[in-house]
Amino acid sequence: MLSSRLAMLSLGFALAAVPALAQQDKPVAKVDGITITEGDLKLAEDDLGERTAQMPEERKREELINYLVDLKLGAKSAAAAKIGDGPEFAKRLAYNRDKLLLDEYLTTEAKKAATPEAAKKLFEDTVKAMKPEEEVHARHILVPEEAEAKAALERVKKGEDFAKVAAELSKDPGSGKEGGDLGWFAKDRMVPEFAEAAFKLEKGQVSEPVKSQFGWHVIKLEDKRSKPLPSFDEVKPQIDQYLVRKAQQDIIVALREKAKVERLDKPATPATPATPAPAEPKKP
């Protein structure tokens, strides 16, 4: 009874795979009788990578088909000219076979490491180890001269809206029109003089003029907070990528450790003479 259920389950998996295989084998063009399939298009897309990644789907498909047409025609002509019969071609073919085998092996094995459980654990361990980072939300008025900064500060002290004064006076091309709004930032995002002054302020306070390499600043602190940590879903693609790369590196290191590698282009390193064992004391 169990064996029959297993057989039915296996048959179900096999039948489910048929449409996908059929789609890969679906012909899309012929070149002198040579068929180009959907599977060929997928291989070409993977091979060309970023060259077609930004193209609209319809244009990408046309480019891939045209690329494969040229590839088939070129390969047919090369075969007729017996390009593939020479020893150099055989060496290159063997090299590329080794490279493809390694790539496929690393890809297949590394996928086993990028499990949902491993990704979640890495995220949780990383979050636990992270120290809270302070961020501030600030505005500033940037002017070339100290006197201009003092005049702007005086207007703010007399009750004028900081954002209004910044929009009128600030020479910062990025934030000036936004009322000097710099958004949220960590300390290392700004030049030291500006960061030191901004992070010393309390919510609502305005600084005295501060000089930096860009000019003179008057800074208003809007708010402070601990930098929010990204959610698991936000960083999952990067975590998966890290797990795959680390697994691939570990595989290569393990293969190296098990292998006997001999460098024949360098003289052999002389063996270090063994330290003689200490002589046993003579028996009385």
Give DSSP secondary structure letters for 126-190: HHHHPPP-EEEEEEEEEESSHHHHHHHHHHHHTT--HHHHHHHH---TTTGGGTTEEEEEEGGGS
User: Are the beta carbons of 195 and 212 closer than 8 angstroms?
Assistant: no
Answer yes or no: is pLDDT of 42 > 80. yes
| pLDDT of amino acid 53 | 85
CA distances from 228 to 123, 198, 199 (A): 15, 19, 17
| Predicted local distance difference test score (pLDDT) of residue 147 | 97
pLDDT at 169 over 90: yes
Residue type, 92: R
Residue-level pLDDT at 104 = 92
Q: pLDDT tier at 269 (50, 70, 90 boundaries)?
A: low
Residue 281: pLDDT over 60 = no
Q: Which range has the worst mean pLDDT, 32-41, 97-106, 120-129, 215-224?
A: 120-129
Full-model pTM: 0.53
Distance separating alpha carbons of residues 101 and 104, to the nearest angstrom: 5
In this prediction, residues 101-110 reach a mean pLDDT of 92
- CA-to-CA dists, residue 85 to 12, 34, 77, 94, 157, angstroms: 45, 21, 13, 13, 86
Q: What is the pLDDT of residue 9?
A: 44
Provide the 8-state DSSP code for 215.
Answer: E
- pLDDT confidence of 270, banded at 50, 70, 90? low
* Model confidence at 11: pLDDT above 50: no
Candidates 3.30.1650.10, 3.40.50.150, 3.10.50.40, 3.65.10.10; CATH matching 134-226: 3.10.50.40
- pLDDT > 70 in the chain, percent: 86
pLDDT at 111: 87
Asked whether residue 284 carries a pLDDT value surpassing 50, the answer given is: no
Residue 175 has pLDDT above 90, yes or no: yes
Region 177-204: what's the mean pLDDT? 95
Q: Per-residue confidence at 258, pLDDT binned at 50, 70, 90? A: very high
Judged by DSSP in three states, 263 sits in coil
Mean pLDDT of the chain: 86
Top mean pLDDT of 2-6, 15-19, 170-174, 280-284 is at 170-174
User: Residue 151 pLDDT > 90, yes or no?
Assistant: yes
